[in-house]
């Protein structure tokens, strides 16, 4: 087999690990299985990632980049501020709960982090990155509409993402992969949009 530079092999291994873990879970992501997924020697994985922490960090960073990139790529449309917030929130929901299983994998990493300090550090960095991205997008959207946010964008983003994570957990608990969320979850998402817009504007949230 032709020699592949480390700069090319690393992203290949990360993608192989991400695909494998998405299908079969984190526990299935042994160095042997990842090597087999890509068709390389197990030693190649060990050489590229010195520790399991390095591998997990690379996978989580790739997963986060894909997740955020998908949301950033969505146009908010031409509606009011509230309508555009709703468009972005629903795009985030689709990115999180799509049939590719990425949401389940993130939940697995979050659960595992509760008992593994190294992984907790990685997931904590992920959480802050997502919060910062949400705050940045909210600030930009408000500026487009000439709106001064009633609260700091980061505070609003933390509130929103806390509720969003709860709805995601509810969806995973009640629905089979790929199924549409139930009516209560969808209603919860609409209420979350309404309360978030209300916090932005400093006005009571409309629920209808």
Highest mean pLDDT among 22-31, 42-51, 192-201: 192-201
Instruction: Give the integer Cα–Cα distance in Å for 44 and 13.
Output: 9
Q: In this predicted structure, what is the pLDDT of residue 176? A: 63
Q: In this predicted structure, what is the pLDDT of residue 184? A: 92
Structure tokens at 198: 């209300």
Structure tokens at 48: 């590229």
* pTM attached to this predicted model: 0.82
User: Are 100 and 191 found together in one domain?
Assistant: yes
User: Are 36 and 73 found together in one domain?
Assistant: no
Given a cut of 50, whether residue 207 has pLDDT beyond it is: no
Q: In this predicted structure, what is the pLDDT of residue 125? A: 87
Residue with tokens 């949400």: 134
User: Are 147 and 44 found together in one domain?
Assistant: no
The chain-wide mean pLDDT, for the chain, equals 87
**Residue count of the chain:** 208
In a domain, 207, yes or no: no
User: Are 35 and 66 found together in one domain?
Assistant: no
Q: What is the CATH number of the domain that holds 115?
A: 1.10.357.10
User: Are 98 and 166 found together in one domain?
Assistant: yes
Percent of the chain topping pLDDT 70? 91
Highest mean pLDDT among 79-83, 125-129, 171-175: 79-83
CB atoms within 10 A of CB 89: 20
For residues 197 and 81, is the Cβ–Cβ distance under 8 A?
Answer: yes
Q: What is the CATH number of the domain that holds 18?
A: 1.10.10
Q: In this predicted structure, what is the pLDDT of residue 1? A: 46
Instruction: Give the integer Cα–Cα distance in Å for 172 and 166.
Output: 10
Instruction: Give the integer Cα–Cα distance in Å for 40 and 46.
Output: 11
Dihedral of the CA atoms 57, 62, 64, 69 (nearest 10)? 160
DSSP of the chain: -----HHHHHHHHHHHHHHHHHHH-GGG--HHHHHHHHT--HHHHHHH-SSHHHHHHHHHHHHHHHHHHHHHTS---SS-HHHHHHHHHHHHHHHHHSTT-HHHHHHHHHHHHTT-HHHHHHHHHHHHHHHHHHHHHHHHHHHHTTPPPSS-HHHHHHHHHHHHHHHHHHHHHHS-TTPPPPHHHHHHHHHHHHHHHHHHHTSPPP--
User: Are 73 and 26 found together in one domain?
Assistant: no
Task: Give the confidence band of 101 by pLDDT, cuts at 50, 70, 90.
Answer: low
User: Are 27 and 124 found together in one domain?
Assistant: no
User: Are 46 and 111 found together in one domain?
Assistant: no
* Domain, as residue range, for 60: 52-201
Q: In this predicted structure, what is the pLDDT of residue 204? A: 58
User: Are 32 and 81 found together in one domain?
Assistant: no
Task: Give the confidence band of 135 by pLDDT, cuts at 50, 70, 90.
Answer: very high
Task: Give the confidence band of 208 by pLDDT, cuts at 50, 70, 90.
Answer: very low
Number of domains, the chain: 2
In a domain, 125, yes or no: yes
In a domain, 114, yes or no: yes
User: Are 44 and 122 found together in one domain?
Assistant: no
User: Are 116 and 147 found together in one domain?
Assistant: yes
User: Are 78 and 178 found together in one domain?
Assistant: yes
In a domain, 60, yes or no: yes
Q: What pLDDT, in 10s, does the model give residues 162-192?
A: 999 999 889 888 876 567 788 899 999 999 9
């Amino acid at each position: 087999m032709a020699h592949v530079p480390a700069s090319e092999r690393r992203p290949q291994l990360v993608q192989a690990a991400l695909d494998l873990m998405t299908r079969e879970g984190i526990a299935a992501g042994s160095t042997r299985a990842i090597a087999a997924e890509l068709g390389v020697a197990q030693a190649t994985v060990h050489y590229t990632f010195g520790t399991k922490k390095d591998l997990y960090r690379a996978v989580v960073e790739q997963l986060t980049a894909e997740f955020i990139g998908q949301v950033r790529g969505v146009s908010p449309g031409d509606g009011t501020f509230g309508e555009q917030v709703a468009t972005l929130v629903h795009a985030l929901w689709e990115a999180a709960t799509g049939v590719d299983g990425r949401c389940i994998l993130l939940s697995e990493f979050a659960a595992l982090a509760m008992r593994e300090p190294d992984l907790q550090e990685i997931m904590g960095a992920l959480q802050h990155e997502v919060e910062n991205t949400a705050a940045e997008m909210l600030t930009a959207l408000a500026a487009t509409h000439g709106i001064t946010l009633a609260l700091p964008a980061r505070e609003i983003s933390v509130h929103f993402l806390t509720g969003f994570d709860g709805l995601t957990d509810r969806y995973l608990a009640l629905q089979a992969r790929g199924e549409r969320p139930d009516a209560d979850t969808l209603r919860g998402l609409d209420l979350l949009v309404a309360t978030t817009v209300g916090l932005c504007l400093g006005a009571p949230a409309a629920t209808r």
